[in-house]
Amino acid sequence: MLSPTPAQSSPETFEPGWKLVTAKAAWQPRDSMGYVAFRNRLWILGGWFDSGSPCPRDVWSSADGCHWELELREAPWRHSDFPICLVFRDRMWVMGGWYNGRLPYCEAGNEVWSTGNGYDWSRTPDKAAWSPRVGAAGIIFRNKMWIFGGVEKYFAGDESHLKNDVWYSENGETWDLVTHTAAWSPRAFHQSVVFDDKLWILGGGNYLPNYKAFNDVWCSEDGVNWHQVTGEAPWSERLWFAAVAYRDRLWIMGGWSNDPFQDYNDVWHSKDGVTWTRLESETVWSKRHAQAAYVFDDKLWIAGGHARPLSNEVWRLG
């Protein structure tokens, strides 16, 4: 979900493995939270604790990944499970997402919120033109905010609720539909990355009631015309993984599959989206899904996620 940072060295120069920055961050263990790197800090926004509780609405930040500060105990936005979180025009943005797990009054959202400091939040006057959804992918590309796909009903997300539309906005208020049906199949819980001056879509699928997962890779120069780079990457089909652009490569990390049922802790990188190399390291975080992932201080970071149980660990590589 983050824009690439300038390359400093190649992946071959990494330290032997991942470093555990903290085993217990100050925030409560969680997954599917919002996350960004903003104003030289790592940020955690909301997420998920369990299916019977309201989603958390707290906001945390850290300059080093170890020491975290509570910026706001209860933000005004509610849809904090798998939201779209971006940094745009020197503000953090929270859009879409799911509210309240599996409780009777759960719903997807299409509200658009932003802040310049983490605690003073404002909402755009109108909801976004795209339909309420969860598990959409989002990115900043050519000075616009872009969103891709998602599902309108988290736990009743049959084919009719899955989306493969593409939208962009230059201000967060007015949204333009780029295409209603992109070439990649409708999906949620995928990832988008900006790499090589192109938009990229990786993996994803659907959770319930009809599980599906992909390991395909697509790219586009304009959001309209999409090219399938590969239909089957060497990393297995998955949902709820992380992807970034880092040191002139695409990266994917972790995630979950239901066929077979398992979480992952593998890390892969690619220069072109076709040929992928698995990063072999002596130490690595435990298998998990729906973790935060950052490019920050020329390092790769992950935080939290569902590692059975939920985690509030922070790790870094680089």
Starting at the earlier edge strand, list the strands of the sheet with 212-220.
Answer: 191-195, 198-206, 212-220, 226-230
CA-to-CA distance for 277 and 89, rounded, in angstroms? Answer: 34
Which pair of structure tokens corresponds to residue 122? 């404002």
What single letter denotes the amino acid at residue 221? E
Tens of pLDDT, residues 280-309: 988 899 999 999 999 999 999 999 999 999
pTM of the predicted protein model = 0.93
Q: Is residue 2 part of a domain?
A: no
Q: How many domains does the structure of the chain reveal?
A: 1
Asked if residue 255 is part of any domain, the answer here is: yes
Residue 281 lies in a domain: yes
Query: b/e map of 135-172 (b: 16 or more CB within 10 Å)?
Result: bbbbbbbeebbbbbbbbbbbeebeeebbbbbbbbbeeb
The reported pLDDT for the residue numbered 264 is: 98
**In a domain? residue 128:** yes
* Closest by CA position to 316, among listed 286, 282, 277, 284: 284
| DSSP characters over 82-130 | S-EEEEETTEEEEE--EESTTSTT-EEB--EEEESSSS-EEE-SS--SS
3-class secondary structure, 34: strand
Boundaries of domain holding 34: 11-317
| Strand-pair partners of 200 | 193, 219
On whether the CB atoms of residues 55 and 81 are closer than 8 A, the answer is yes
- Given phi > 0 = left and psi -120 to 50 = alpha, else beta, which region is 304? left
Contact 291, 301 (CB under 8 A): no
**DSSP category for residue 209:** S
Q: State the CATH number of the domain containing residue 230.
A: 2.120.10.80
Token pair 């990063």: residue:
279
Tens-level pLDDT at each residue, the chain (318 residues): 444 333 344 445 555 589 999 999 999 999 999 999 999 999 999 999 998 888 999 999 999 999 999 999 999 999 999 999 999 999 999 999 999 856 677 899 999 999 999 999 999 999 999 999 999 999 999 999 999 999 998 876 678 899 999 999 999 999 999 999 999 999 999 999 999 999 999 999 999 888 999 999 999 999 999 999 999 999 999 999 999 999 999 999 999 999 899 999 999 999 999 999 999 988 899 999 999 999 999 999 999 999 999 999 999 997
Token digits of residue 107:
């719903």
- Three-state DSSP class for residue 159: helix
Cβ-proximal residues to 309 (8 Å cutoff; 6+ apart), any chain: 29
pLDDT digits (tens, 9 = 90+) for 164-177: 999 999 999 999 99
CA 60 – CA 316 distance, rounded (Å): 18
Whether residue 254 is contained in a domain is answered as yes
Residue 6 is assigned to a structural domain of this protein: no
Q: Is residue 4 part of a domain?
A: no
